[in-house]
Structure 1
């Protein structure tokens, strides 16, 4: 998937991956897509919850190389 922003949160624990996602997505225009890479198991719950609360669209989660990649479109 093509992304406009790649965010590396590997090694960070809850709530830091979502905080980093929120901060970095602020600079995106509506419709742009960010990819958050994280290995914190809590991110599986935290990222979709963040999207629901913030009006962003959770597109998908893909597991690869010992981490998860979360794709989020700015609302």
Structure 2
């Protein structure tokens, strides 16, 4: 089951950037590995990729359409 709180935060942040801009998200939540790419598919934004470190993940999302 997805915990939607981080997705609501991402949705708010995506609304603040222009179409074509890239949002980076830093988290240590393991569930984000599935949640964020799935959110991108559902919302029509582009999941660019992820950087994994020992204690956190950094996700990159490109805003494709207006929210």
Q: Considering the TM-score relative to the shorter chain, is it more than 0.5?
A: yes
Task: Give the alignment's Cα RMSD to 1 decimal.
Answer: 1.0
For 1:3, the equivalent position in structure 2 comes to none
Structure 1 stretches of 4+ with a deviation exceeding 2 A read: none
Cα distance in structure 2, aligned partners of 1:31 and 1:65: 30
Residue 7 of structure 2 is aligned to residue 22 of structure 1: no
Q: Unmatched 5+ residue regions in structure 2?
A: none
1:35 to 24, 44, 49: 24
For 1:46, the equivalent position in structure 2 comes to 35
**1:26 alignment partner, SS class:** helix
Name whichever structure is richer in helix by fraction. Answer: 2
> Greater relative contact order (Cα 8 A, min sep 6): structure 1 or 2?
2
Q: Deviations over 1:19-74 (max 9, x none)?
A: 11111110111100000111111100000011001110000011125010000000
Q: Unmatched 5+ residue regions in structure 1?
A: 1-13
- In the superposition, the TM-score normalised over structure 2's length comes to 0.85
Counting matched residue pairs gives: 62
